[in-house]
A and B are shown apart, each in its own frame.
Chain A
Amino acid sequence: MKPGDVVRLSLPAATAYVGVARSLAAGLATRLDFDLDHVEDLRLAVSEACSLVIPTAVPGTDLNLEVRIGDGEVTLAITSDTSATTTPADDSFAWTVLSALADDASSTLAQGHQVIRLRFVSSAEPMALDGPAGTERS
């Protein structure tokens, strides 16, 4: 696995397949040695992005997941043929979740083609373990 590699998965745009997309993204991130928090974030983000695009996907079309391996990061693109006329609102619940999970989240819509792009950086910096547990241990 090296920067520049791209993994693509094409699935029917139906919720039954979301788990497969999650597993693919998580499996890749785990093998790229992302820490577990980031892997879980990725997993959740794929679910969210899929549930965002599936309801408006044109019946019978495929959902495409593309994972582009970068240098210490991955970029996911979830693409669908859509009947939606607007991109998700910035303050919608799903978008709030996605932008909290990903380091970058963007969405484009052109000619019935919707793309959600999510970037995840594999930073594994120590952080303050907030709250009672942190104070007890110090």
Chain B
Amino acid sequence: MTAGQGDAQPAGRRQVRTDASASRREQSVELFTELVGLEQGSPRHAKVRAELVQLHAGLAYSIAHRFSRRGQPDDDLEQVAMMGLLKSVDRFDPARGLEFSTFATPTIRGEIRRHFRDTAWALHVPRGLRELATQIPPAVEELTVELRRSPRPSEIAARLGTDPERVVEALEAADAFTTIPIEAPSREGRPLTETLGSPDDALARIDEREALRPLIQALPERERAILMMRFFDEMSQSQIAARVGISQMHVSRLLSRTLRDLHDELEAASAVSAQHT
């Protein structure tokens, strides 16, 4: 009863719209029925298809406009919506008794969402840390070459079009979960020994507890060379990276690991010698 009263008022307006949409629906059913019987690619098929798109263009536009307040130019969205409409026309099967608009609406929306995801959202939605973390090393490589020094986080952020704080977080995250590849490729063809020279001269300079020397000698060749270059030749990590042919981040991780290993072994060695005395 109350429902009937509520319906009564707009009934007049609805009547007009219903007439228009009823005739459009009729026309649509007619065209679709014809389309199904036509050979794909034939001139008549193309014509009927175009008429259907024309007939339902209003649906595509109205969906496009519902999305238009999201920073995308309207004509872009309209075009994307029309693509969705075209797909719907091609896939619609009138024999299933479904209203065309019922079928087309989710398809058109899906098309617009995909468009947002591929374009606008890529700029506005914060990228995952992991994803950012994977983009940082190549950016660092590029910038190191361009700037002839290792880049600052602000410079990396500018290159990747993101916030410096995001870069800081991603760098920290990368530090936490990246593992060192067992064998990173070194500059092809040239044995490391040839490029680097002997570490013995540098070693001779440290008058260290006897325990350390054999530990350094026992390090893998590359780790030992990097250690020497950094601490005895005072080369920067980027210089070492360029010399050895691996990334600066990789140099950094190798150095950290080498120092940690040396400390552990030194501790173990002194524990053993303490036992023996």
Contacts and interface: CB of A to CB of B under 8 A. Distances in A.
Contact of A97 (B231, B235, B238, B248): B231
A104 B234 CA distance: 14
B148 A100 contact: no
Contact of A100 (B153, B230, B242, B249): B230
A44 B238 contact: no
Contacts of A127: 148-149, 236, 238-239
A36 B154 CA distance: 11
Contact of B242 (A30, A34, A35, A130): A130
B149 A133 contact: no
A36 B172 CA distance: 12
B236 A37 contact: yes
Contacts, number: 119
Interface string B238-277: 1100110100110010011001101100000000000000
A97 B260 CA distance: 13
A92 B263 CA distance: 13
B150 A130 contact: no
A23 interface: yes
B263 A51 contact: yes
* Interface residues of chain A: helix, strand, loop or mixed (majority): helix
B149 A131 contact: no
Given A127-B239, A130-B239, A37 B172 contact: no
Interface string A106-133: 0000000000000000001111111111
Contacts of B234: 100
A36 B263 contact: no
B231 A96 contact: yes
Interface in B211-242: 212, 230-232, 234-239, 242
Contacts of B243: 130-133
B182 interface: no
A89 to B, nearest CB: 8
Contacts of B212: 93
Contacts of B206: 91-93, 96
B187 interface: yes
Given A126-B149, A127-B149, A30 B171 contact: yes
A2 interface: no
A4 interface: no
Nearest to B227: A97
A55 to B, nearest CB: 8
Contacts of A26: 172, 175
A30 B153 CA distance: 7
B152 A131 contact: no
B153 to A, nearest CB: 5
Contacts of B259: 44, 47-48, 97
B150 A35 contact: yes
A53 to B, nearest CB: 13
A93 B206 CA distance: 7
Contacts of B260: 47
Name the residue in A30, A31, A47, A93 with the highest tally of chain B Cβ atoms < 10 Å from its Cβ. A93
Interface of B: 140, 144-145, 147-154, 164-165, 168, 171-172, 175, 187, 190, 195, 205-209, 212, 230-232, 234-239, 242-243, 245, 248-249, 252, 255-256, 259-260, 262-263
Given A33-B152, A36-B171, A126-B149, 9 more contacts: A27-B168, A33-B164, A35-B151, A36-B151, A37-B150, A129-B144, A133-B187, A134-B242, A137-B145
12 contacts: A23-B172, A34-B152, A36-B151, A36-B171, A40-B237, A92-B209, A93-B262, A126-B148, A127-B148, A127-B149, A132-B242, A134-B242
